[in-house]
Structure 1
């Protein structure tokens, strides 16, 4: 657990977390904690039992905001995409009048990225800290969405050029990830909408207007992932169509080869019969004439099929 006094974007480490109970003359306290620190923090800040229980739960929490007398409890999901799987990491926050507590189980990149922004913007209140952190989280969804779109386009190109059985597993896997993520985007959009529209005494009225931009981005993200879900359906249809076309191409080649060999089989069939006399059987070099004729017939039919674009 790290406790910091934030004054105009500048950090001062606080050694004794109990000092954060007293509001500072300037700035606010930011406590970056883990689940193991909640027992101490709950007794100090009187955090609500249900909020603490949600933080300690192993189950994945949906984005939400809970309003209590002395603080707000906010849950939002950070996203990470490693080109194979989408990961959501819960970011729990307790917002008070002079403090904000962030509780995470894994490392959240947005918290690391946030520090220089606090410095540049000279952030001096916990609600502005919350605004910039939520903004970073939502923006990261846009970045992940762009990467998913690129992956879909590349997968579509690969399917059209060289269809493989492994492509179906990729389509199913990515589609299930998108559908799973869609379930979280709705509540996350509602959370940002609440921060923007609802009157909240711990968030400055002027600052709430800025949450409107984040809300618009959250709506766009939800709509974008709706589009990705439809694209994955189209991609599966393209995969099935590509397999059918490939099978048709193979059958066309086999049919053409069978057709070419039909007259050759007819000729060899005649001269393979056990008759005492066949036309030209005693003619010198007859076998070369027959073989040459068979080659000529085969090449002629091959040329005809190529000319008609059947091969």
Structure 2
């Protein structure tokens, strides 16, 4: 657990956590903690027991905002796209008048990227901190959306060029992840809407317009993921169509080969009959003539099939 005094974007480490209970003359306190630290933080800041229980007992939480008298409890999901897999990581936030507490079970990149933003923007209030943090999280969803879009295009190209059975597993897996993210985006979007529209005493009035801008971005991202879901359906149809075309192509080749060999089999059948006289059977070059004739007939039929675009 680390406690910092943030004054105009400048960080100062606080050694004694009990100092953070008293509001500073200027700035606010940012406490970056883990779930186990709530045992100490709850009595200090009088955090609601239901919110603390949610943090301690639920690893995967639905995005939400709960309003209490002295603080708000906000759950947001950060997103990561590593090694072609999508991960969601819960970010628990306690927002007070002079403090903000962030609690995570894993490292979240947005928190690391937030520090230079706070310094550049000279942040001096916890609600401003919350705005920039959520803004970074939503921007990261946009980046992940771009990577998913690129993956869909690459997968579509591979399917059209050379269909493999492994492509179906990729389609099903990616579609499941998109549907999963879609379920997360809807409640997350409502949390942002609440921060931007509802009368909240811990959110300054000028800042609500900025939350409204984040909400519009969240709506666009949600619509983008709706498009991805439709594209995955089209991709599956393209996969099935490609397999059908490939099977038809193979059957066409086999049919052409069978058709070419039919007259050759007919000729060998005639000359294999046990009769007294067959034309050319008694001559010295009869056997070679028949073989060359069969080869010529096979080549002629193959040329005819290519000319008719049957092969």
| TM bracket (short chain) | over 0.9
Secondary structure in 2 matching 1:231: helix
Deviation (angstroms), 1:58 = 3.1
Q: Which residue of 2 aligns with 1:93?
A: 93
Cα deviations by residue, 1:32-87 (Å, 9 ceiling, x for unpaired): 00001001000100000011011112341111111100000000000011253211
Structure 1 residue runs of 4+, over 3 Å off? none
Q: Which residue of 1 aligns with 2:73?
A: 73
Equivalent residues in 2 for 1:207-286 (5 A)? 207-286=207-286
Cα deviations by residue, 1:220-249 (Å, 9 ceiling, x for unpaired): 111111111111111111111000000000
RMSD of aligned Cα (Å): 0.7
Matched, 1:297 2:297: yes
Q: Which residue of 2 aligns with 1:194?
A: 194
Q: Which residue of 2 aligns with 1:39?
A: 39
Q: Is the 8 A contact 2:59 2:90 kept in 1?
A: no
Q: Determine the C-alpha separation between the residues in 2 that align with 1:82 and 1:27.
A: 36
Q: Which residue of 1 aligns with 2:158?
A: 158
Cα deviations by residue, 1:183-211 (Å, 9 ceiling, x for unpaired): 11100010011111111100110011111
Q: Determine the C-alpha separation between the residues in 1 that align with 2:302 and 2:269.
A: 21
Deviation (angstroms), 1:213 = 1.0
Q: Which residue of 2 aligns with 1:176?
A: 176
> What's the TM-score, normalizing by structure 1?
0.99
Give unmatched runs, 5+ long, in structure 2: none
Q: Determine the C-alpha separation between the residues in 1 that align with 2:208 and 2:57.
A: 30
Mean CA deviation greater in 83-92 or 285-294 = 83-92
Alpha-carbon spacing, 1:105–1:59, altered in 2? closer, same or farther (3 Å): closer
Q: Determine the C-alpha separation between the residues in 1 that align with 2:82 and 2:157.
A: 20
Give unmatched runs, 5+ long, in structure 1: none
Secondary structure in 2 matching 1:166: helix
> What's the TM-score, normalizing by structure 2?
0.99
Count of residue correspondences: 311
Secondary structure in 1 matching 2:88: strand
Q: Determine the C-alpha separation between the residues in 1 that align with 2:8 and 2:28.
A: 9
Cα deviations by residue, 1:266-298 (Å, 9 ceiling, x for unpaired): 111100111121111111200111011001000
Secondary structure in 2 matching 1:26: coil
Secondary structure in 2 matching 1:294: helix
Q: Which residue of 1 aligns with 2:131?
A: 131
Secondary structure in 2 matching 1:62: coil
